[in-house]
Amino acid sequence: MQNTIHTLKKGEKAIIKDFDIDLIPLKLLEMGCLPGSLVELLQVAPFGDPLYLDINGSHVAIRIETAREIEVELIKTNL
């Protein structure tokens, strides 16, 4: 199973690996949502949509449909 932003749990961090550029809004690309970017799930709205993210220091909200299209690699943290 591939990890996408929508599979992240609150507080988890990941690196954006890949996505279909035709399915991602231009505004997200302009805000730095690009392969290699660090992303952290900050909050999930009631009913699960939208997701509130930190992408390279920018706080953005994205729809669950968009989050399913962005493949990520989880960053392992030692507690």
Please, are residues 71 and 5 in contact by the beta-carbon 8 Å criterion? no
Domain ranges of the chain: 5-74
What's the pLDDT tens digit per position in 28-61? Answer: 888 888 899 999 999 999 888 999 999 989 899 9
User: Using 50, 70 and 90 to split pLDDT, how confident is the model at 21?
Assistant: confident
Report d(CA 57, CA 69) in Å as an integer: 21
Report d(CA 66, CA 36) in Å as an integer: 17
Given this model, what pLDDT does residue 78 score?
Answer: 66
Residue 51 region, left (φ>0) first, then alpha (ψ -120 to 50), else beta? beta
pTM for the structure as a whole: 0.84
Superfamily of domain 5-74: Ferrous iron transport protein A (FeoA) (2.30.30.90)
- Strand ranges for 11-75 from DSSP E: 13-19, 38-44, 51-55, 58-62, 70-74
